[in-house]
Structure 1
Amino acid sequence: MLKLAAIDLGSNSFHLLLANHQAGQLQVVAKQGEKVQLAAGLDEDGMLSEEAMERALNCLAQFAPFIDGIEADHLRVVGTNALRAAHNSEELIERAEALLGHPIEIIAGREEARLIYLGAAHALADVHGKRLIVDIGGGSTEFIIGEQFEPQLLESLHMGCVAYTKAFFQDGEISEKRMRRAELAARSELASIQRTYREMGWDDPVGSSGTIKAAANVLEAHGWAPHGVVTREGLHKLRAALLEFKRLDKVSLPGLKSDRATVFPAGIAILCGVFEALGLEQMRYSDGALREGVLFDLIGRNTPEDSRLSAIESLQRRYGIDTRHASNVRDTALQLFDQVAGDWALGATSRQLLSWAADLHEVGQAISHSQFHRHGAYLLEHSDLLGFSRPEQRALAFLVRAHRRKFPKNELAALPEPQQPRLARLARLLRMAVMLNHSRSEAPVLGMHLSAEGDDLTLNLTEEYRDHSLINDDLSQESELQKAAGMTLTLADS
Structure 2
Amino acid sequence: MSQKNIMKDQGRIESDSQPLVAAIDLGSNSFHMIVAKVEQGEIRPIERLGEKVQLAAGLSKDDRLSEQAMTRGLNCLAQFAQYMSGRRFQALRVVGTNALRKAKNSGDFVAKAEKILNHPIEIIAGREEARLIYLGVAQTQSDDNDRRVVIDIGGGSTELIIGERFEPRLLESLHMGCVAYTDRFFSGGELSSERFQSAYYAARLELLNIEQAYKKLGWVDTVGSSGSIRAVSTILSAMGHGEVITREKMELLKSRILEFSHTGRVRFPSLKPDRQAIFPAGMAILMACFDAFEIERMHYSDGALREGVLYDMLGRDRHEDVRGRTLSALMERYHVDRTNAEGINRYSLACFDQVSQSWRLEASDRELLNWASLLCEVGLDISHSQYNRHGAYLIQHSDLMGFNKEQQRKLALLVHGHRRTLPKGLLEHSDSHLLLKLTVLLRTAIVLNHIRDGTFSHYDLTAGNRTLKVSFEPDWLRDHPLTAADFEREKMYLNKVGFKLTVS
Counterpart among 181, 185, 192 of residue 202 in structure 2: 185
Counterpart among 409, 426, 434 of residue 412 in structure 1: 426
Counterpart among 468, 486, 497 of residue 457 in structure 1: 468
> What letter is aligned with 1:119?
G
- What are the equivalent positions in structure 2 for 1:352-363 lying under 5 Å apart? 352-363=367-378
User: What CA distance in whole angstroms lies between the structure 2 residues aligned with 1:335 and 1:462?
Assistant: 17
Partner of 2:493: 481
Flag the 1:329–1:215 CA change in 2: closer, same or farther, 3 A. same
- What are the equivalent positions in structure 2 for 1:291-306 lying under 5 Å apart? 291-301=306-316, 303-306=318-321
Q: Please list the CA deviations of residues 330-366 of structure 1 after superposition, one character each: whole Å capped at 9, or x if unmatched.
A: 1111111111101111111111110110000000111
- Contact 1:435-1:475 within 8 A present in 2 as well: yes
User: What CA distance in whole angstroms lies between the structure 2 residues aligned with 1:395 and 1:442?
Assistant: 34
Flag the 1:413–1:43 CA change in 2: closer, same or farther, 3 A. farther
How far is the alpha carbon of 1:436 from its aligned partner? 2.1
- Contact 1:20-1:27 within 8 A present in 2 as well: yes
- Contact 1:332-1:446 within 8 A present in 2 as well: no
User: What CA distance in whole angstroms lies between the structure 2 residues aligned with 1:72 and 1:394?
Assistant: 27
How far is the alpha carbon of 1:72 from its aligned partner? 7.6
User: What CA distance in whole angstroms lies between the structure 1 residues aligned with 2:475 and 2:201?
Assistant: 70
> What letter is aligned with 1:327?
E
Worse overlay, 125-134 or 315-324 = 125-134
Partner of 1:334: 349
The answer to whether residue 378 in structure 2 is matched with residue 376 in structure 1 is no
How far is the alpha carbon of 1:490 from its aligned partner? 1.2
- Contact 2:130-2:160 within 8 A present in 1 as well: yes
Partner of 2:261: 246
How far is the alpha carbon of 1:128 from its aligned partner? 3.0
Flag the 1:72–1:462 CA change in 2: closer, same or farther, 3 A. farther
* SS of alignment partner, residue 93 of structure 1: helix
- Contact 2:19-2:90 within 8 A present in 1 as well: no
Q: Please list the CA deviations of residues 71-93 of structure 1 after superposition, one character each: whole Å capped at 9, or x if unmatched.
A: 78711100010111111111111
Structure 1 unaligned residues grouped into runs of 5+:
none
Flag the 1:126–1:444 CA change in 2: closer, same or farther, 3 A. farther
User: What CA distance in whole angstroms lies between the structure 2 residues aligned with 1:73 and 1:411?
Assistant: 34
Partner of 2:283: 268
Instruction: Provide TM-score, normalisation by structure 1.
Output: 0.96
Partner of 1:469: 481
- What are the equivalent positions in structure 2 for 1:10-21 lying under 5 Å apart? 10-21=27-38
Counterpart among 299, 312, 324 of residue 284 in structure 1: 299
Partner of 1:235: 250
How far is the alpha carbon of 1:326 from its aligned partner? 0.7
- Contact 1:361-1:376 within 8 A present in 2 as well: yes
- Contact 2:22-2:89 within 8 A present in 1 as well: no
How far is the alpha carbon of 1:413 from its aligned partner? 4.1
Partner of 1:59: 76
* SS of alignment partner, residue 51 of structure 2: strand
The answer to whether residue 335 in structure 2 is matched with residue 320 in structure 1 is yes
* SS of alignment partner, residue 342 of structure 1: coil
User: What CA distance in whole angstroms lies between the structure 2 residues aligned with 1:218 and 1:462?
Assistant: 76
Flag the 1:475–1:188 CA change in 2: closer, same or farther, 3 A. same
- Contact 1:328-1:443 within 8 A present in 2 as well: no
> What letter is aligned with 2:219?
W
User: What CA distance in whole angstroms lies between the structure 2 residues aligned with 1:199 and 1:182?
Assistant: 26
Partner of 2:9: none
- Contact 2:376-2:418 within 8 A present in 1 as well: yes
Runs of 4+ deviating beyond 4 Å: 69-73, 442-446
Partner of 2:148: 131
Flag the 1:448–1:369 CA change in 2: closer, same or farther, 3 A. same
- What are the equivalent positions in structure 2 for 1:372-451 lying under 5 Å apart? 372-408=387-423, 410-415=424-429, 417=430, 419-438=431-450, 441=452, 447-451=458-462
> What letter is aligned with 2:36?
A
Partner of 1:226: 242
Q: Please list the CA deviations of residues 212-264 of structure 1 after superposition, one character each: whole Å capped at 9, or x if unmatched.
A: 000001111112x313x211111111111111111011111111000111111
How far is the alpha carbon of 1:448 from its aligned partner? 1.3
Flag the 1:444–1:311 CA change in 2: closer, same or farther, 3 A. farther
Q: Please list the CA deviations of residues 436-465 of structure 1 after superposition, one character each: whole Å capped at 9, or x if unmatched.
A: 2235x3879663111112222111123584
User: What CA distance in whole angstroms lies between the structure 1 residues aligned with 2:456 and 2:252?
Assistant: 71
Flag the 1:446–1:22 CA change in 2: closer, same or farther, 3 A. farther
User: What CA distance in whole angstroms lies between the structure 1 residues aligned with 2:446 and 2:401?
Assistant: 26
> What letter is aligned with 1:322?
D
User: What CA distance in whole angstroms lies between the structure 1 residues aligned with 2:325 and 2:90?
Assistant: 20
User: What CA distance in whole angstroms lies between the structure 1 residues aligned with 2:38 and 2:266?
Assistant: 40
User: What CA distance in whole angstroms lies between the structure 2 residues aligned with 1:73 and 1:485?
Assistant: 39
Flag the 1:303–1:479 CA change in 2: closer, same or farther, 3 A. farther
- Contact 2:28-2:54 within 8 A present in 1 as well: yes
Flag the 1:283–1:105 CA change in 2: closer, same or farther, 3 A. same
- Contact 2:391-2:412 within 8 A present in 1 as well: yes
